[in-house]
A = this chain, B = another copy of it.
Amino acid sequence: MNGDIGIDVEKAAEFLELPPSRFYKLLDKKTIVRNWDEYEDILRFDNHVSGIETGSVLIEKNDTFEMIRGFPKIKRAMILIPSIEKNFQGIESVIVEEKMNGYNVRVTEYKEKLIALTRSGHVCPYSTERAQHLLNHDFFREHPELVVYGEMAGPDNPYVPKDIYGLDSLDFFVFDIRFKSDGSPLPVSERRKLASDYGFSQVELFGEFDIEEAPAEITRIIKELGEKEHEGVVIKDPEMVLQPIKYTCSQSNCADLRHAFKFYNDSGRDYMFPRVVREGFQSFEWNESEEELKKRCLRLGESILRPMIQSIREVQRNERISDEVRIRVRDRDTIYKFKSYLERLGVDVIFSSPERIGDDYLVRISKINRSTTDKTKGIMEGQLWS
């Protein structure tokens, strides 16, 4: 044991097949970082390291190690027909599942409790508490070789709150189950069967379609999802050998822009470009009429300008621009742990007093966006744009 970082570096390096000196260097450069508090001996990869993706996590367990691989990046189809043909060459059908709009977590067992790892490999105290209540522990005891990948979605969501799924609070929807050893996924039907056996919620399955009919079916599904402002779909090889691809709705794209432009000085710039390009390709792909195109242009313009103007007005009224979210917890301690966690991540938050609802506590959180507030205030005071 190396007291300083909580794990045995020599052994960890051996497990990763890296020279110990390289491992020490990665620690020094903060490419490998430990989690906070009681999770100090859970190391996360803050950048990719020879074949190990960013967000991967290394845990010492019974004198050996366990690697939880990061979320595989899913590429996006800009135009369905050629993308499906090219990406799924050699197979006959694809499975289409819903891509939900929430936040990704991986759940695994650690010291006999479940923990929830975010995309970056942090142990999120809120998601961790929620996972205890949402997931059947038997699965993790009976399948210690597997990790569950899913989407936390619903209104009591401190990252991406959404009312669109008809949920009261928050639920965890499984979309992937993978082996710890090499990160390989279970085939879709096997994964759905297993998840169902343990009573897990799962992302919606739209069906399995022949490659030839898939683009038309997906277009139909996307248009229906768009009307409900759902995000989109992920298209998968049933065997999970070929890489999945995603495809999303204009309405959800515009909802993302609306959220981003509320904080225009912060998230507007990087967010905007790819989303705008998607709109152009989808309009082309659907061969839109003049009227449909006009509607899309208006929707795009409104998604950008309305939230921005709203934010400027808030600053004019001397308010601070913020994102209002909420959490619902069973254990009061989770509130303080989660606040400290967000503060350490550099998020500027104000927590309301907990409000008792049944067995739970509801807490409202204001995430202050200082950058956009300050920039806007400066401009209102005559600061020039360089």
Q: Which residues of A contact B (CB under 8 A)?
A: 73, 75-79, 81-87, 245, 261, 264, 268-269, 272-274, 276-281, 283-284, 293-294, 296-302, 304-306, 308-309, 312-313, 316, 379-386
Contacts and interface: CB of A to CB of B under 8 A. Distances in A.
Q: How many copies does the complex hold?
A: 2
A84 B313 CA distance: 20
A385 B280 CA distance: 14
A386 B277 CA distance: 13
Given A300-B305, A309-B283, A312-B281, A380 B79 contact: yes
B280 A305 contact: yes
Given A261-B280, A294-B298, A300-B300, 8 more contacts: A76-B384, A78-B384, A79-B379, A79-B380, A279-B305, A280-B312, A281-B312, A298-B301
A378 to B, nearest CB: 9
Nearest to A280: B308
A277 B385 CA distance: 10
A299 B301 CA distance: 8
A94 B306 CA distance: 33
A83 B297 contact: no
A311 to B, nearest CB: 8
Nearest to A88: B382
A233 B84 CA distance: 50
A117 to B, nearest CB: 23
Contacts of A279: 304-305
Contacts of A84: 382
A123 B146 CA distance: 66
B272 A272 contact: yes
A83 B305 contact: no
B293 A297 contact: no
A288 to B, nearest CB: 8
Contacts of A245: 384
B75 A385 contact: yes
A306 to B, nearest CB: 7
